[in-house]
Amino acid sequence: MTKDPLVVFTPSGKRGRFPAGTPVLTAARQLGVDLDSVCGGRGICSKCQITPAWGDFSKHGITSAEGALSQWNAVEQRYDDKRGLKPGRRLGCQAQILADVVIDVPPESQVHRQVVRKAASARVIEMDPATRLYYIEVDEPDMHEPTGDVERIARALSAQWGIEKISTDFSTLALLQPILRKGGWKITVALHNTDTESPPRLVAAWPGLHEGGHFGLAIDLGSTTIAAHLTNLETGVVIASSGIMNPQIRFGEDLMSRVSYAMMNPGGDREMTAAVREAIATLATAIAQEAGIDPSLILELTFVCNPVMHHLLLGIDPVELGQAPFALATSSALNLTAADLRLTTLPASAQVYILPCIAGHVGADAAAVALSEQPDRSEDLVLVVDVGTNAEILLGNTSRVLACSSPTGPAFEGAQISSGQRAAPGAIDAIRIDPATKEPRFRVIGCDLWSDDPGFAEATAATGITGICGSGIIEAVAEMRIAGLLDSKGLIGSAEQTGTARSRPEGRTHAYLVHDGSADGGPVITVTQGDIRAIQLAKSALYAGARLLMDEMGVDKVDRVVLAGAFGAHISPLHAMVLGMIPDVPLDKVTSAGNAAGTGARIALCNLAARRQIEAEVRRITKVETAIEPRFQEHFVAANAIPHATDGFPELAKIVTLPQVAFNAGGSGEDGGRRRRRRG
């Protein structure tokens, strides 16, 4: 019997089989995929736009070939003629599923659009930008002393500013003559200086005295999100921060899936490069509009990213990063232009600085964290963990700094979780479970009230309760362990074992019911055994990476832990410790650094000396390669237990007594399941 076509939606990862001819919008609704529609599928509102992805997707076990959707129809053509559809986009209400297909739901088509949490952290940065403005008065042309406009600009800079020599960006050269004449030979020029050996480069000019400022973009190009901070290059003030989903998600949620896509699909690397560059150009325009400035005033960009994102941004096939010895095309810092990266919404002469990479799996984002947090200047031993789809980990003090990356996967971002979603209004981001009654209470993004507070239902009526995001699933699993609903091996107990009907049978395992919104047409939100396993795998990889660095340093404990990254900023230290995500330390020694990679990008944007500093520092950092280190697997297996199979976590035990329950076959789960001691 022929199976119905399989459809996989990204970035949610939800999948299902539907009869041929089923509209994509119908399939999305039945699977609970976050796809917007206001007109009810009449092809009027266009909010249900989707992008089919073509190629072999080994991660999903699917080949998505052109022809898997019905042909472009008259309704789509009418909308395209009137308002325009981006190339490759379809209307979900019109496109019908005919064969196996992968469908990407872009951020603007999602009802609950992501709240990008990569806000700029407050930081005092000494201003020494690479790009500076100079007002000059230029001699008029003289037939008796023929010289070019550029030469007279150089002469004016020498006489008025003591700048003896300049070079000129080609794209700026064509604009100089009208600017000079419009300003009556009085102009403001922007000079970009990368070092003391090369002459400054003239990258922009304005007639007369330019008082509109000049700006830079510090961009954190992550596997899942792209965040940008628009910064005034005169004051260092961040005037706008914004972010979007990385569109490469449709080619694979994690880095190795994208490398695999490039390997299996000729030209796949170019597809991913084009997608991310277009997204960055779009983000630059959007953030400029938000700040009320002309994008032409953005003269400089800094990028931090992991090695795979680094290569795909540059248009380099990442295939070598998918196999030992994980060779980078280059690990050095790069100075480019917006034209080199084809960022078409920005001035072609806008200068781009990409921070150096540390190793094949430890990228410029880890270098940026090192620049921001400076473990090399710490008197005590500090572990810095940048939590994300691919975690970067630094361990060090004034004597030595070690670095590695650990493949945690997308579970911490809410992906591969049964009720998981991105951090958006309506998503559960915090939860507490009463150890006696086993009843949960929770908080959702967009509302400060807890679910048992008066007025919660009214306050969340607009967003609804839609799912659970990364910080929410971490707290849920940890709270289940504290409340005795989950044993140390990660098994969920039955209703009889746990004493609550919220433990529901699900096949041969059990799931814990967090919220049942079915009476009002909402979702049923549970934590399943599969969710627990996904979190166990992610947290075990994180802990194992940290333990490898501790082994290399020859220590069994660290003095303090810094949680970095947009996601790390929202993790509860207590719940991270209960899970065993990080090594055992006193809770007051666990702090959040916010988006440390983004802060490092801003420091490099605003301070030329900081670029030289990090370029030197990465050469001193010792790299530990988790992919080929046999001890990684040993640490990984031991870390599968919650919190750990062999580490007693004595600091955690001072605050929380974890129930000694076991829910294997024949386990009653009644031995101590109600005991708990907890701070506050």
330-351 pLDDT tens trace: 999 999 999 999 999 999 999 9
Quick check: is 595 in a domain? no
Displacement of CA 41 from its chain's centroid (Å): 32
- Over 60: is that where the pLDDT of 418 sits? yes
- Over 70: is that where the pLDDT of 410 sits? no
pLDDT-based confidence at 39, cuts 50/70/90? Answer: low
Please state, in angstroms and as integers, the Cα–Cα distance from residue 108 to each residue in 30, 104, 240, 272, 625, following that order.
20, 11, 20, 19, 38
Cβ atoms 633, 537 nearer than 8 A: no
Cβ atoms 382, 375 nearer than 8 A: yes
Displacement of CA 516 from its chain's centroid (Å): 30
pTM: 0.82
Q: In the chain, what percentage of residues exceed pLDDT 70?
A: 94
Q: Are residues 95 and 37 in the same domain?
A: yes
Chosen domain end from 207, 222, 252: 207
Among the listed residues 403, 358, 424, 580, the one whose alpha carbon sits nearest the alpha carbon of residue 489: 580
Q: Are residues 17 and 104 in the same domain?
A: yes
At 475 the pLDDT is: 95
Quick check: is 315 in a domain? yes
At 120 the pLDDT is: 56
Quick check: is 618 in a domain? no
Chosen domain end from 207, 223, 256: 207
Please state, in angstroms and as integers, the Cα–Cα distance from residue 161 to each residue in 24, 136, 137, 155, 164, following that order.
63, 8, 11, 10, 9
The CA distance from 129 to 231, in Å, is 11
Displacement of CA 301 from its chain's centroid (Å): 18
Quick check: is 25 in a domain? yes
Please state, in angstroms and as integers, the Cα–Cα distance from residue 226 to each residue in 9, 67, 230, 595, following that order.
20, 31, 13, 12
The residues with which 591 forms a beta bridge, in sequence order, are: 562
Average pLDDT in the 444-461 region?
Answer: 94
The CA distance from 221 to 440, in Å, is 36
Q: Tens of pLDDT along 9-18?
A: 988 788 999 9
* Bond into 146 cis (ω within 30): no
Q: Tens of pLDDT along 256-275?
A: 889 999 999 999 999 999 99
- Over 70: is that where the pLDDT of 651 sits? yes
At 118 the pLDDT is: 46
The CA distance from 100 to 64, in Å, is 6
Lowest mean pLDDT among 354-363, 408-417, 583-592: 408-417
Mean pLDDT of the chain: 89
- Exposed, middle or buried, 113 (CB in 10 Å: 0-12/13-18/19+)? middle
The angle, 0 to 180 degrees and rounded to 10, between the axes of the packed helices 170-182 and 149-161 is 80
At 583 the pLDDT is: 95
Cβ atoms 459, 450 nearer than 8 A: no
> Which CATH number do you get for residue 75?
3.10.20.30
Chosen domain end from 79, 109, 139: 109
Q: Are residues 184 and 150 in the same domain?
A: yes
Cβ atoms 18, 5 nearer than 8 A: yes
Residue with tokens 């079915």: 518
Sequence-ordered strand ranges (E) for 489-568? 503-506, 509-516, 524-527, 560-564
> Which CATH number do you get for residue 256?
3.30.420.480
Q: Tens of pLDDT along 84-133?
A: 888 899 999 999 999 999 999 987 787 655 544 445 555 678 888 999 99
Alpha helices (H) along 168-267:
170-182, 255-264
Quick check: is 296 in a domain? yes
- Over 60: is that where the pLDDT of 51 sits? yes
Q: Are residues 242 and 342 in the same domain?
A: yes
Quick check: is 527 in a domain? no
- Over 80: is that where the pLDDT of 510 sits? yes
Q: Are residues 105 and 135 in the same domain?
A: no
Average pLDDT in the 406-426 region?
Answer: 78
Q: Are residues 249 and 342 in the same domain?
A: yes
At 674 the pLDDT is: 39
At 673 the pLDDT is: 40
The angle, 0 to 180 degrees and rounded to 10, between the axes of the packed helices 268-291 and 255-264 is 130
Q: Are residues 103 and 139 in the same domain?
A: no
Cβ atoms 226, 219 nearer than 8 A: yes
Sequence-ordered strand ranges (E) for 342-396? 351-354, 382-386, 391-396
Q: Are residues 152 and 102 in the same domain?
A: no
> Residue 275 is part of which domain span?
238-319+333-347
At 112 the pLDDT is: 57
- Over 80: is that where the pLDDT of 670 sits? no
Q: Tens of pLDDT along 230-254?
A: 999 988 889 999 988 899 988 987 7
Q: Are residues 293 and 245 in the same domain?
A: yes
The residues with which 416 forms a beta bridge, in sequence order, are: none
> Which CATH number do you get for residue 193?
3.10.20.880
What is the 3 state secondary structure string of 120-184? CCCCCCCCECCEEEEEEECCCCCCCCCCCHHHHHHHHHHHHHCCCCCEECHHHHHHHHHHHHHCC
Q: Work out whether strand 351-354 and strand 62-64 pair parallel, antiparallel, or are unpaired.
A: unpaired
Q: Are residues 195 and 295 in the same domain?
A: no
Quick check: is 289 in a domain? yes
> How many Cα neighbours within 13 Å face the side chain of 680?
3
Tokens of 301: 């960009």
Average pLDDT in the 472-483 region?
Answer: 96
Among the listed residues 198, 183, 200, the one whose alpha carbon sits nearest the alpha carbon of residue 132: 200
Q: Are residues 62 and 155 in the same domain?
A: no
The CA distance from 341 to 336, in Å, is 8
- Over 80: is that where the pLDDT of 138 sits? yes
Tokens of 614: 């990090």
Q: Tens of pLDDT along 376-385?
A: 999 999 999 9
Quote the Cα angle for 25-27-32, to 5°: 95
Q: Are residues 20 and 59 in the same domain?
A: yes
The CA distance from 280 to 349, in Å, is 16
Domains: count for the chain:
3
- Over 80: is that where the pLDDT of 653 sits? yes
At 497 the pLDDT is: 95
Quick check: is 47 in a domain? yes
Residue type, 78: R
Q: Tens of pLDDT along 151-177?
A: 999 999 999 888 989 999 888 898 999
Residue with tokens 């507490």: 432
At 356 the pLDDT is: 96
Report which of residues 403 and 674 the model is more confident about.
403
- Over 70: is that where the pLDDT of 567 sits? no
